[in-house]
Amino acid sequence: MTQLNRRRFLSSGIAIAGGGALGVFALSGTANAQGTPAGSQALHTDGHEITHGWTYTAAEGTTLSGNQLAGAQAVAGLKPAVVPGTPLTSMIAGGEYPDPLYGHIVTDTVPDTLKDTDYWYRVSFPVPRLIPGQRFWLEFAGINYLATIWLNGKEIGTIEGAFKRGVFDVTDLVAKGGTAYLAVRIGKLDYAEGPLKPSYTSGVTRGGRNGGPTGITLENGPTFFCTAGWDWLPTIPDRDLGIWQPVTWSTTGPVRLADVRVDPVLSADLGTADVTVDLTLDSATRKSIVVRGALDGRAFTKTVTVPAGASSVTLTSKDLPALRLNRPKLWWPNGYGDPNRYRLTIGVESGGQVSDERAVDFGVRRIEYRKPFTDPSGNAVNGLAITVNNQPILVMGGNWGLDEALKRNAPERLREQVRMHRDANLNLIRNWNGQSSSEDFYQACDENGILVWQDFFSSTEGPGPANVARDLDDIRDCILRFRNHPSILLWCGGNEGPPPQPIIDGLDALVAELDPQRAVLTSSAGDTGKDPINGYTSGGPYHWVTPATHFTTNDGTHWPPFHNEVGSYSIPTLEFVRKMLPESSWEHPDDFWADRDVNGNGGNGGGAGYLKLTAQRYGDVQNLADFARKSQLMNYECIKSIFESHAASMTSTAPGKPYPRTGVIMWMTNPAQPSFVWQMYSHDLEAHSSFYAVQHACRRVNVILDSKTFDVVVANHTRAALQGTVAVTLYGLDGAAFASTSLRVNGAGASGHTVIGNVAAQLNTAPGDVAFARLSFTDPHGTELVRNFYWTENPAQAKGFTSLDDMPPAAVSVTATAQHGRDGLELAVAVENVGHALALMVHLQVYNTRTGERILPATFSDNYLNLAGGEAGTATVRLGNPPRADEIGVRVDGWKIDQRGSRLRGRGVAVTFNQDALSTQPAKKTFSA
């Protein structure tokens, strides 16, 4: 093999490390590019990320060639670059533009011409002097959209598409060591058009459509096409071009582990797992090598001869007993068990030296995808219903459109986002159109037990990809790269409609070749495969509807049983609304609101329609603080019912209800930008009431009040039947109980729902038009398993909730204590209702007493508490980045608080009322919708 042939781009997309390994091994503890690798005589060194010293410029700003830029000669006019990052993130870091997502309209702040040029990136980095037999690899984890790469004055290859890696053998260019000079030309999109502009008065999303004025951006195929503008994302001026994933270098000996696939097959009784390991090797010459590895403390070896070039080796438990796991520790989805993982370490040795080695984390689990149904036409079909390790799973998930609008998502922030999904009791994230495909994302999902519905790059919002081969090449690399992750549930061709037939055929063939154990769906709206999986749909609603609407739709009589897109408005806290809008817009909805998505998809008549609906349901909006507090109730009741309506008809069939619910995925849970809609926390990771609505609705044991029928339902997601008693207490506006009942639970079946009673008659006796319901489920020993709370209209005189403003204010006792927890400083906040009036939606917020700013991230075990007279609750708070202990405070607000009758006390922490949030009754109305 000549040096020229070794310096090639591995266009087959062979993974550097099979899914799980790049983050676990090659990038774990990566060194700064300025560092010197330890053990310089070793053939193999782990990946060193090149992070410092990057510069960039628009390609139209220089006449220099790639050969010249990839050289030692100084180049004037280049600016510091953020890598990983995009041109716009570099411009913001350099002070050229303010952050356009806060206090600005993006398309008015940053010119849309940023997308219309290629960009040059340049960096130099030290490399060691290579020893005989050592090979040097340059690795790109992700660029957008096209890249041509030069090193030390030579072009070394290209990368096409945002979701394909580039791996280059550049041994002959750096063999003498010293300083290497790298230049990358990032090519603009093949198809682009102008921006979509926000308009509050239009009542619809930007221009009334998604994907740009005509949707032509979709023709590019594998890119962040949502950046053309969507109803949840403004047009991003540079379309997130750039080097968006790390660039690293590493070394191996003559034989490289190009891919490691770990394929555990779990027996039907869960008693054993046979692990197959497929190795793809790249050898400089024909060689005899020793494959040496270890799994679960047991070592194994195998000697093989490999030819020059690419080859493969398969290891099985039949030949290597160490690859059989007895009584394996299983990987479970969140809420069903621990997400246990195993680590396989494996290396190849040649001539007594380690040539390359890898560590791959993987999980052992068994997934089934189908449940037989008879559809409304009388056809026998396989419906989408997930069973993991013989346990039926009600999918309760969130759609994740883009991790962050400008791709500013450090691994720590991304892990926090995924962890919040775990803490909300969700068990799945749908990676919408594959827009967030990074190793960190899947690794975080593995660690937190979050299943991943992995879409690819087609959508009905525009034409199919013009370059089918490029699209399939990126799909191939994604499957190769991530298939070892136990979190990945299935592969899906795209969003809401079938991709072009060549993409469908190609995807089906790729999954059959590369990952046949997993299911593949044609699109999120339907499957056209040889053995199709049916029984699921997209289609919303995407706007606010009454809880009764969700309970009617999901009562088990409607087809299909799996709904993968349904959402609502999700208004953030007062503090965040003020942060994301200019002060001139706080009290006057306008185009700044529209750029923050307030028109949604127009389902409620846009932002103006939603504001009108809020006023009709909870009373005329007086000021921004009043809008924020009323919206928290709007958030909570609608979003909670999305999940509870599915849990109340989950899995098990009831008489006359042939379509029990098998899954729901909320649209959306993670916001890519500051927004008024489709989220359960804010862009700065503050959880508002939507988060706790999800958390409370998705508890693995729950007792639910059906908002349509007023049935009381036990939802049991566990593997054991439940016994006990549900106490139902009904309260009037004055906080006094007017009815109560005790309902026996005589064996609420495992993995299903059980109707145990009905309280419609008692609710009809409410003394006013609003009632409150507290449901408490205790086991036979008197231990409370779960408590739930509702405000509901009197069925006999349904008039909305405007009379909530007539309820007396609640007196509360709040005591906050600073303490040291497992993860560092944490708070314990005890809240008690010390009066007779109901304490509704008591909200706790941690803030810096010196600056007044919120402390984020702050993880509350519970929040937006609802307490009857004499009831108490406690929230623990984990602080991600706490200031000095003497600067930590807790603010309290809620629906109506009796400040004089309340007691606030801090132990090592200040406790105050949030006066801004409580100031909801100005002398004169200031809010104009």
CA 727, 730, 731 angle in degrees (round to 5)?
140
pLDDT, tens digit, for every residue of 529-564? Answer: 889 999 999 999 999 999 999 999 999 999 999 999
Q: What is the pLDDT of residues 793-808, one digit of tens each?
A: 999 888 899 999 999 9
Q: How confident is the model at residue 822 (pLDDT cuts 50, 70, 90)?
A: confident
- Residue 40: pLDDT over 50: no
- Average of pLDDT values for 293-302? 97
Residue 792 confidence (pLDDT) above 60: yes
Question: Is pLDDT at 307 greater than 50 in this prediction?
Answer: yes
Residues 6 or more apart in contact with residue 456 via CB below 8 angstroms: 433, 434, 471, 475, 478, 491, 492, 493, 494, 499, 503, 507
Contact predicate 913/899, CB 8 Å: yes
Query: How far is Cα of residue 412 from the mean position of the Cα atoms in its chain?
Result: 13
CA distances from 450 to 331, 334, 339, 453, 485 (A): 10, 6, 9, 10, 11
DSSP letter for 316, please.
Answer: -
| pLDDT at position 57 over 90 | yes
More confident position, 35 or 498 = 498
**CA 580 – CA 596 distance, rounded (Å):** 8
If you average pLDDT over residues 29-55, what whole number do you get?
67
Q: Note the pLDDT of residue 655.
A: 85
What is the percentage of the chain residues whose pLDDT exceeds 90? Answer: 91
- pLDDT of 746 above 90: yes
DSSP three-state, residue 281? strand
pLDDT confidence of residue 36: 33
Residue 780: which pLDDT band, with cuts at 50, 70 and 90?
very high
Whole-structure pTM value = 0.94
Average pLDDT for the chain: 93
Strand partners, 569: 677
Yes or no: say if 427 and 396 are a contact pair by the CB < 8 Å rule: yes
Q: What is the mean pLDDT of the segment spanning 601-616?
A: 96
| DSSP track, 17-32 | S-TTHIIIIISTTPPP
CA-only gyration radius of the chain, Å: 29
pLDDT at position 37, please?
38
pLDDT at 816 over 80: yes
What pLDDT sits at residue 39? 41
Give the three-state DSSP class for 737.
strand
